[in-house]
Chain A
Amino acid sequence: MEKSTVFNNRLLPYLLLLPQLVVTVVFFYWPASQAIWQSFLREDAFGLVSEYVGLENYQALFAQPEYYRSMLTTVVFSTLVAALSLSIALLFATQADKNLKAAPAYKTLMIWPYAVAPAVAGVLWFFMFQPSLGMLARPLRGMGLDWNPLLNENHAMMLVVMASVWKQISYNFLFFLAGLQSIPRSVIEAGAIDGAGPMRRFWTIIFPLLSPTTFFLLVVNVVYVFFDTFGIIDAVTGGGPAGATTTMVYKVYADGRLGGDLGGSAAQSVVLMVIVIALTAIQFRYVERKVQY
């Protein structure tokens, strides 16, 4: 869609665009191209000497068992967080969509964790499950379970998953509720007249109509798990124990900062960029198709 009436001015539009373009070029395009360039270089630990090594950083990266491990960790982590936060949010949204008097109040009470910083969410959950003082850790230990997220890899993963899901439910809830409320009541009523019960109506009418929202949320959630959970992981486990919660993004940070391996870290950044661009492209193709319907 285009405006039919516009201003004619040669210089002004460029001046208006200038601030945004400067910020974007300096803090987006320049670093992004540097990341790609650096991924072909090897630098010494002080960053004084660098030489072009072609694809060596990538070869080294894909020869590392730890890299595959971080990929697997990322897949497990994203799948768990996306599946749990989507299904829990959908359950709450379908209930809040019923004609309840208190529905608006419940909506307000549900959405605010969106505003809690991921790192703070991580600290809150760590406090509940800290092995010696955590209020929820003590009953677990009381039941004879040797609960210790500081030492046990699976426990650490469970803890970061719980904190990440907790943080994401409100966002998914909001979008599911908006999606549910845009489904015409007449369609659901028609189903009811045909004798379909509530469960049947949900699975045959509501859920399919909700699929664009679900797909959109799936992509957004995966991107959330990739990037925004960094704060949770750093605050709760620091990538440990023994690398059990080191996701791909965390590894970029850890290798670059602690390891001083800038070339390897840059190669990892580029791999991540490709994954995110692919995800975004899938989302756009899907959204485009939806528009044509």
Chain B
Amino acid sequence: MVEHRPLTDFIAYAILTLGVFIVAFPVYLALIASTHDAATVVGGHMPATPGAQTLENYYRAIFVGGARTSREPVANMLINSFVSAIGIAVGKIFISILSAYAVVYFRFPFRKTAFWIIFITLMLPVEVRIYPTYKVAADLRLLNTYAGLILPLIASATGTLLFRQFFMTVPDELLEASRIDGAGPFRFFWDTLLPLSVTTMAALFVIQFIYGWNQYLWPLLITTQDSMQTIVIGIKKMLVTTDELAEWQLAMATAVLAMLPPVAVVIFMQRLFVRGLVQTEK
């Protein structure tokens, strides 16, 4: 800003601090609740400072599971979430870098058509065609499988567009030089294009990992066995019992565990994440 007045700076700091407080408060409460025993949390007079049950709560949530809701322990849900989130991220990168390579570096009949077939998928999220997609997955015997959790969610164009945009900025001279060296399409892709694409791939990985981890409706439909449940689904099922019986301290421990991986990814890979996000969306 142009002026540098102490008062405007003070107001800015005050507003931002309030913002951070609003953003952090619900999570702080969840953290606190996950350290107390059931009676303290349900009693309605939970203190604002940590309790003494931390290890016990997390141990029970991770390895034992809720006593009353008798769901899967969180460890198993975490594994399912990791497998599907990483599968979605890697699968998306794999299919989209190949198709972007085809549309940008080759001329062939129906090239434009192929691009538009992929591009149109941007418009309709899986939620809109949820039951027909469920039926296709069921017919292919993909219910309660990792393939079923992963494949329908990678059928969209975001990755292809991101790689296409990036390939367009790669100088033509690189391809000419590789060709003079006698490189074919495979060697050019492997030796030149792939190393240049590492940051784009990493950015896409971060965004897709978070997207996959946070999925709700699709895993809810495709997994009927508790053993295939992801953590985001599991946490809600912990609260399905009537409210007095719900084990809130375990549910909050689970919420903390469900937030930890994607939030850590965003914080540690902030620059990549922001770059990738702004590029895919605009």
Contact = CB atoms under 8 A, between A and B. Distances in A.
Interface of A: 1, 3-10, 12-14, 16-17, 19-21, 23-24, 26-32, 34-35, 38, 88, 91-92, 95-100, 102, 106, 108-121, 123-128, 130, 132-135, 138, 150, 166, 169-170, 174-175, 178, 188-189, 192, 198, 216, 220, 223, 226-227, 230-231, 234-235, 249, 252-253, 256-257, 262, 265-266, 269, 272-273, 276-277, 280
Contact of A26 (B118, B123, B136): B136
A249 B216 CA distance: 13
Contacts of B239: 123, 126, 235
Contacts of A112: 23, 263, 266-267
Contacts of B195: none
A10 B154 contact: no
Nearest to A97: B1
Contacts of B125: 223, 227, 276
B151 A27 contact: yes
A197 B43 CA distance: 52
Contacts, number: 298
Indicate the member of A10, A17, A121 with the most B CB atoms within 10 Å.
A17
A253 to B, nearest CB: 7
B161 to A, nearest CB: 12
Given A6-B105, A115-B210, A12 B16 contact: no
Contacts of A169: 19, 23
Contacts of A14: 102, 108
Contacts of B50: none
17 contacts: A28-B121, A30-B132, A31-B136, A92-B19, A95-B16, A98-B1, A115-B210, A117-B214, A119-B233, A120-B214, A124-B255, A133-B44, A134-B44, A230-B217, A252-B130, A273-B124, A273-B129
B106 interface: yes
Contacts of B55: none
B128 A3 contact: no
A192 B3 contact: yes
Given A110-B20, A112-B263, A116-B259, A34 B106 contact: no
A223 B137 CA distance: 25
B66 to A, nearest CB: 14
Nearest to A188: B2
A44 B121 CA distance: 31
A19 to B, nearest CB: 4
Contact of A27 (B9, B155, B282): B155
B96 A6 contact: no
Contacts of B57: none
Given A13-B106, A192-B3, A115 B12 contact: no
A16 B128 contact: no
A252 B131 CA distance: 9
A109 B24 contact: yes
Contacts of A226: 127
A7 B185 CA distance: 7
Contact of B175 (A5, A138, A235): A5
B265 A115 contact: yes
Nearest to B153: A27
B236 A110 contact: no
A179 B1 CA distance: 15
B95 A170 contact: no
A116 B23 CA distance: 11
Nearest to B33: A127
Given A24-B121, A120-B259, A3 B172 contact: yes
A27 B133 contact: yes
Contact of A16 (B102, B118, B216): B102
A235 B108 contact: no
Contact of A20 (B22, B98, B104): B98
A28 B154 CA distance: 10
A119 B235 contact: yes
Indicate the member of A95, A108, A256, A265 with the most B CB atoms within 10 Å.
A95
B99 A20 contact: yes
Given A21-B99, A35-B128, A92-B15, 17 more contacts: A1-B168, A5-B172, A7-B106, A12-B185, A19-B94, A28-B155, A31-B135, A99-B4, A116-B27, A120-B232, A127-B251, A174-B278, A227-B128, A230-B127, A234-B216, A277-B124, A280-B122
